[in-house]
Amino acid sequence: MIASPAGRTPGAQTGTPASGTWTLVAPAEPDDIPRGAPHGPELVVRTVAIDDLPDTPTALVDRLPDTNGLAWVRHGDGLVGWGEALRFETFGPGRFADADDAWRQVLDRAVVHDDVTLPGSGLVAFGSFAFDDVTPGDESEDPARASGVLIVPRVVVGRRGDRAWMTTISLVGDRSAPVGDDLLSAYPHQPVTEPGRVVLADGAVGAADWPAVVAEGVARIQTGELEKVVLARDVVATAEHPLDTRHLLGRLASAYDACWAFSVDGMVGATPELLVRSEKGLVASRVLAGTIRREHGPGSPAAPADADLLHAAQLARSSKDLEEHEFAVRSVAAALEPFCSSMNVPEAPFVLHLPNVMHLATDVTGVLTDQGPTSGRRPPSSLSLAAALHPSAAVCGTPTTVARSLIREIEGLDRARYAGPVGWVGAHGDGEWGIALRSAEISPRNQRHIRLFAGCGIVAASDPQAELAESEAKLEPMRYALGVPTPPK
């Protein structure tokens, strides 16, 4: 794990990774508090109420001063942040546990003044984690890419309903960091830039070749090797100008406001799938599996109401989609059960309508087992719950181990942080983590390059060409964000 103080280039690594310990990556001045001390850094946090946010879906995104901002926004509520007070990078199978341990060390030493006391106020960190335990990456492009990152911003602005707040965070001993009024003025608002002309190209596996990958997955399922596998593909886009995440977020937050629009360390998207929300002892997970394409996407004329009803009914009766969905719900319920004293798992899914597709959806909820001071047990953070849930059958398959091995064998794609957990964690175990779907990753080496991802759940009855068409529908949100026209159906 690498712990980096503020002021370093995002993604830069100058220390030697070590699991479960703090690594000093920037020498402290003799009179500074050592930021790499075994007990971790010390933060001073202040949250105050504000009242100047307009009631629009992009009000929070519009506050971001530059393209390096952090975001987690839905229906105009959520959190955005900028600057870096601290950054933790983790590697390999221990990426979740190491990040959670680092976060708890920070919490133990933080001094927090919170006048708002809502989920998301006080001390928070944004995070993004790789899908797989093994992420070799491209050694020439990114020789030491982290498997996970937690970022504690210097400034956070949040909104929940009719209440809004601002949090400022400073690192004790970091004399180079601005404080007070200087902290806000240190990040002047830069104009939002559009990407200009965008050209798409095949990714690791071309669209013409991907159905053969799906056919192989179907064949392996039909032999009884496994019941379901989720296979993904990518598309590479090159923009005329460096990509501004605020432009992408603004379009996503407006057109896909029922999704969670996010941006963390170059990973940007609008996910419809909530891996876990933890709040005041209650947990929830929105499971999506089973998809049908809608006739019209965002920015197009609305489809006739009867057409949507017909598609919804078709999806709700599809044995293939219902089977795929059941695998996903079972995996989430099984992963949450050890943490809960009671759970509610609906018997049948509902149809979730999004601008580009419809999904079969189930909201699984639960009450966390009493883990207060008298129980002798440490309450799980939202990050540790996300780690327990990942990877669900919605993004991997069933059985998990077999499906993950098959993905590594036949997919031909480095997923990186696509389909991994993305979201935020708070000071009291609260937080929200989504699955990084309908997403893309901006290259850290060239801000004009971005990889778009889409995946499909494959079962015995899957048709390779139909799955290719479904993947095209799932690429639509990021195409729309980039201003690329929807290809003919």
Reference 199, options 449, 406, 32, 13; nearest CA is 449
Q: Known catalytic residues?
A: 228, 273
Residue 32 phi, psi (nearest 5)? -85, 155
Cα-based torsion angle of the residue sequence 8, 9, 12, 14 in order, rounded to the nearest 10 degrees = -30
418 within 8 A of 131, measured Cβ to Cβ: yes
Reference 28, options 157, 174, 167, 163; nearest CA is 174
Q: Which amino acid is located at 55 in the chain?
A: D
Tokens for 54, please give them: 């307009």
Cα–Cα separations (whole angstroms), residue 134 to 88, 378, 480:
19, 29, 31
Total number of residues shown for the chain:
489
What is the rounded distance in angstroms from the CA atom of residue 1 to the CA atom of residue 117? 30
In eight-state DSSP terms, residue 186 is T
What is the rounded distance in angstroms from the CA atom of residue 222 to the CA atom of residue 460? 6
Reference 419, options 273, 261, 292; nearest CA is 273
Cα–Cα separations (whole angstroms), residue 376 to 102, 247, 371:
21, 47, 7
Q: Which amino acid is located at 459 in the chain?
A: V
474 within 8 A of 291, measured Cβ to Cβ: yes
Q: Name the burial class of residue 357, with classes exposed (0-12), middle (13-18) and buried (19+) by CB atoms within 10 angstroms of its CB.
A: buried
Reference 261, options 135, 125, 113, 436; nearest CA is 436
